[in-house]
Structures are given as structure tokens and as C-alpha cells.
Amino acid sequence: MGFGSKSERERDSYLALEKVLRIAKEEECRFVVLAGDIFDVRIPKPETWAAILNFLKELKNEGRECIAIYGNHERRGGNLINPLQSLAKADLIKLLHCNHYIAKEYNLAFFGMSYVPDKYAIDVLKQWNPRPLGGYYNILILHQNIFPFMYSELEEVSLKLEDLPKGFDLVVNGHVHYRVEKRFDNFTFIIPGSLIPTQLNKKESEIKKGCYILDLEKKELLFREVEVRRFFYEEVESLAELEEKLSRILEISEKDGEKPIVKIVVKGIRSFDLNLIEQRYREKVILHFKKEFERRIEKTHKEICQKRVSIEERIKEILNRNISLKKIDIFEFIDALSQENFELVEGLLRKEYDNKD
């Protein structure tokens, strides 16, 4: 929620969530599971809060429970409260982290581990050691890279499919933005993926967005598509090919009533000003260009940004070893700095150094 803030895509996530709510009503779902990264940022805007609060209020009014874990986008260190913890304190969700929730009436058990930096994931999971309950349908909810299903090839990974605890009927994993469904002899593994296109890669253009419905009586897991703004991914080597593909995309999406998102990877055009193309089609498509010779540099920069959370963890570890703070928590201090909460930074420094001998 909140992806594309201050752009024409700002409402896309809100509209997708409304469609999920309608599906929950149509399917008469008793529980809704959110596998992390419900929010795009750790401190959401009021508009984003309003949308998720309305969604959760509707669920609660209709007698549906929301089971959730927090993801890397929401996780905050030290004693700082993250957005999902706020919702749990308001009794709008059941938030899980290395614990479980039992719905006895339905013989249903939810086990959840919220996001931890990937290099610690296998150790935390082993220490928790969740064990499915006999006579229950057991669901394990995670938010990690689980090899071979990665958010990015450059991200750290310690968990593999074979490391997952045995005996669970269904394993639900967040974090990865494209949808995955794997059925094994003893359990089913799914990654629902994001509700709207976010990474804008080829895989996202090929796999439908949506949610899963679990029918406990039939033990069936069904995918329900959520129709969102169309996304096209194309590679071109000439200006003529670019114009041809844009014309075809416009023809396909003409009846949608909203601009499609178009990502163009340019392989051969060097001298032509792509800004002219963007200006020409601005009223018809949301256009993103990437030049082939820039891809390696841009990819490296993007991956560094995507790994921001784990980099912060390393900074915290280094500072914790080398700076002696007696009155305040170093992790809370670094979180305040990273979020530019300078009022909190000043307050913490005053607490540490005022009246210090």
C-alpha cells in the first residue's frame, strides 16, 4: 500500500485492495492472510493508513479475521513500533512473529515468522522450530528469500525449500513480487506476489496478479485473478520497432479505460532522443525506458537500494561494537537517523549527553 506515491499510479494499490475485499465477500472467506510488505514504507502517509484501516474495518465488521506478518518494508529496529504492530495493538490484525494462532472451530493453525535479515533467517527459523499440530490444517507464513525463489539474484539467502520445517500443509511466502505455485507430495508452497506491478520486469508482465482462496472442506487452493492496470514489457532495437510495439499496445489496451504501464528496454537506439517519444505518448501510456548499455549500472544501483535493510543492519552492528552509549539504544538511534526523524535524534542525544560527567 502506498506504492507510486505522488504519481498517477498512487491509487492502483488502493483499488486492488478493494477488489480483494470483494473477493473475500464473494468467497465467504473467514480469514485473510497478509504475508508482509502490506505497506510500501515504514512510516506510511495518512492516505495509505486510511485505505488499510478501511479495509481492515470492513473485514472485522463482516466477521473476518486478518492474520499477518510484517515484511522488510515495515520492519523497524530497536524498540520502534512498526505499522503492523500498530494495527495489532488496535486489534485489527493477528500479528505473528515466531508464534502461532489457533482457530479451533475450523481446525486451523497459523504459524508465522515476520521478516528477519536473510542471513539470519535459517537460524531464527531453527531456533523457533515450529511444529504443526495434529488434527489441524497447518499454515506456515514467511517473508524471506527462499532459494530458488528470490526477490533478486544479488540478495543474500540462507533458506532453501528443503530447509522448511516438515509437516505443514501450506507454506505462504511474501517478499518476492511475482507469483509462484508449487505443489509437492506433502505440502503446497505459494508466493502470492504483489497485487500491482512494482519491479517492472519481464516476469511481472507474464504472470497474472491476484490472491489465493483456500477451501478447507475440499482441501483445495484456487487462484483468483485481480484485474489491475496492464503492464507490458518490450525490448526494441530500432525506432520503427518501438513505434510499432507502442501502437500495438495502445490497440490492445484501448478499451481498458486507464493508461497501461509500458517498460521498454532499448537495445540499439543511441542517437534518438527518447524524451520525444515519452512526450508524444504521455497522455496514452505510463512509459519507462531502460537503455541496454545502462542496465548493469542501473541494476547494481537498484540492488543496493533494495538491500538497504540488510546494509542498515550491518551499520548497526558496527556502531554497536564501537560506540559506547549507556542511556539509549543504538538501534533506535540508527533507525531515527535512517528515517530522518531528527526530532527523535535530538531527543535521544540529549538523553545520552545531558548532565553527563
Q: Does 203 share its domain with 131?
A: yes
DSSP conformation class of 149: B
Residue 310 is predicted with a pLDDT of: 52
Query: Do residues 145 and 176 make contact, with C-beta atoms less than 8 angstroms apart?
Result: yes
Eight-class DSSP state of 263 = E
Report how many domains make up the chain: 3
Q: What is the mean pLDDT of the chain?
A: 85
Q: Is 5 contained in some domain?
A: no
Q: Is 153 exposed, middle or buried (0-12, 13-18, 19+ CB in 10 A)?
A: exposed
The pLDDT of residue 308: 47
**150: in domain:** yes
51 CB burial (10 A radius; 0-12, 13-18, 19+): buried
To the nearest 10 degrees (0 to 180), the angle between helices 239-252 and 274-281 is 20
CB 37 within 8 A of CB 73: yes
Note the pLDDT tens digit of each residue in 286-325.
Answer: 998 887 544 554 555 555 544 444 555 556 566 655 566 6
Domain CATH number, residue 23? 3.60.21.10
SS3 at position 134: coil
CA neighbor of 55 nearest in space, from 14, 12, 83, 23 = 14
pTM of the model: 0.79
Minimum mean pLDDT range among 175-189, 257-271, 324-338: 324-338
Q: Which residue has the higher pLDDT, 251 or 355?
A: 251
Same domain, 190 and 314: no
SS3 label, residue 187: coil
> 77 or 279, which is more confident?
279
pLDDT greater at residue 70 or residue 78:
70
Question: Is 1 part of any domain?
Answer: no
Same domain, 336 and 240: no
State what percent of residues in the chain have pLDDT above 70.
Answer: 81
For the ranges 85-94, 119-128, 155-164, 240-249, the lowest mean pLDDT is seen at 155-164
Lowest mean pLDDT among 5-19, 84-98, 199-213, 332-346: 332-346
What mean pLDDT do residues 16-22 have? Answer: 94
Is residue 2 domain-resident? no
Establish if 49 belongs to a structural domain: yes
- Identify the H or E element spanning 181: strand 180-183
- The pLDDT assigned to 347 comes to 74
In a domain, 44, yes or no: yes
Residues 214 and 238 in one domain: no
Cα 290 to its chain centre, rounded Å, is: 23
Helix, strand, or coil (residue 30): coil
By residue range, what is the domain housing residue 334? 301-353
pLDDT, mean of residues 101-125: 93
Of 200, 225, 250, the position where a domain reaches its end is 225
Does residue 7 sit within a domain? Answer: no
